Amino acid sequence: MERIGEKQAGAVMALGRAPVVTDSLQAATVPANTVSTDLIEQLRVLEEMKSAITALQARVAVAFDLAQRAEQAEAGVPASERGRGVGAQVALARRESPNRGGRLLGLAKALVTEMPRTLAALQSGYLNEWRATLLVKETACLSAEDRCAVDEELAPDAGTFDGKGDKAIIAAAKAAAYRRDPRSVVGRASRAAAERTVSLRPAPDTMSYLTALLPVAQGVAVYKALTQAADSARSSGKAKSFEDVGSGRVVRPRGQIMADTLVERITGTPGGISGITIDLVMTDRTLFQGDSEPARLQGYGVVPAEWARTVVGEEQSARDREFSVWLRRLYTAPATGDLLATDSKARLFSGRLRRFIETRDDSCRTPYCDAPIRHIDHVIPWHSGGQTNLGNGAGLCEACNHTKENPGWSTRAVDADVHTLEISTPTGHTYQSKAPPLPGHRPSRT
């Protein structure tokens, strides 16, 4: 197994010896070949070390995959099921989400088994992990033989991409892949429509990114419809802000009108909330006494107290909407903040226990995985005597719920101040997952 070079290792030792210049005037008079030169050299070498370590991680990941498959074969696991859960273990070891772990394992396999020149460039620092990933991604549709040929043609370790940016690397890889197998490249584009999806992720200041991945014709059509609606509203004088209707002073910008039109057309109401439940968790002090303790919006995260009160107040005062605000009381243990019980006034929904666990866990309980909850499952399986109750329930994404059923995986609840799970992997490593703190809870310090 390769070792990191002496030059790279020496940079780490030099970090402790480098002089630090704090005064800007003093820095301006320091000769160019002393402090500044040394610090830039250290940055360069440290960047090369990162790339070398990434290449070494790729080799280790592939070796681990082979070792796991061999051990599973000895245990009698069918050939079609060998290798399951390997990506999840890589993710836990690297403190990444399971989805990211699977992609890292795929990257490692491609580099080690099919793209040796790209791996060599990563090892020597000519490429970083992201740009190596771009090369792997753009050649994913090729056969192993064609991919290896493209790797040889581009030869990144020979300095092919010196000074080139991401776009240049992507363009070169696409062109080389098309020359080797144009039919596969075209087929990949036609299959991409199957990956269309809509996703939501938090943005700063209680905003969010609603993203749609669509075929180009559909995407252009949606965007054109929104722009036409915005232009029509502005030309007809209907572009006043919701907050200032009647004042005649504020006109919404074009982009804001497009966003408002999107919400209204999808939900059927200008404000965007009608017949849809949003779970906003806050303390009674925040809701009724003006306390500053933040609230938590399920599917988004922490939101300011004032914003949460405003949302509740706006919905309660919206008499012209067919909408009702349901208050769901959540009882917590005074000392720990752990959810204990709930009562629900929302008769429109069944499965209170499921909703309770979804509110408590907020997102998938696997460490480093923040995917939305799709499955509520037993911590100790039902067939092993596990009960259907709060303590033995956990919210998981679909992939993580399937992963924990693989041989060698186990989960148990442990005694802690908040609902805590201990996950054990086939290698005997353990990882803990605590339910996220609820508004108003202050963890005790020991």
pLDDT, position 388: 78
Q: What is the pLDDT of residues 248-290, one digit of tens each?
A: 456 678 888 899 889 888 877 766 555 555 677 777 777 777 7
Pull the structure tokens for residue 239: 């572009």
Secondary structure class of 100 (helix, strand, coil): helix
pLDDT, position 406: 92
- Distance, CA of 31 to CA of 26 (rounded, Å): 10
* Owner of token pair 């549709």: 141
Q: Which residues lie across from 393 on neighbouring strands?
A: 378
What's the Cα-to-Cα distance from 122 to each of 110, 138, 151, 167, rounded to whole Å?
13, 17, 13, 18
Residues 6+ apart with CB under 8 A from 347: none
- Distance, CA of 180 to CA of 138 (rounded, Å): 12
Q: Which residues lie across from 423 on neighbouring strands?
A: 411, 431
DSSP string, 190-221: HHGGGG-EEEEEEETTTEEEEEEE--HHHHHH
* Owner of token pair 């060998």: 82
> What's phi and psi for 202, nearest 5 deg?
-65, 150
- Distance, CA of 260 to CA of 281 (rounded, Å): 26
pLDDT, position 246: 47
DSSP E strands in 214-347: the ranges are 280-281, 295-297, 301-303, 329-332, 339-343
Amino acid at 306: E
Query: What stretches in the chain show pLDDT beneath 70?
Result: 1-33, 238-251, 270-278, 299, 313-350, 440-446
pLDDT, position 332: 57
Secondary structure class of 207 (helix, strand, coil): strand
Secondary structure class of 424 (helix, strand, coil): strand
pLDDT, position 178: 92
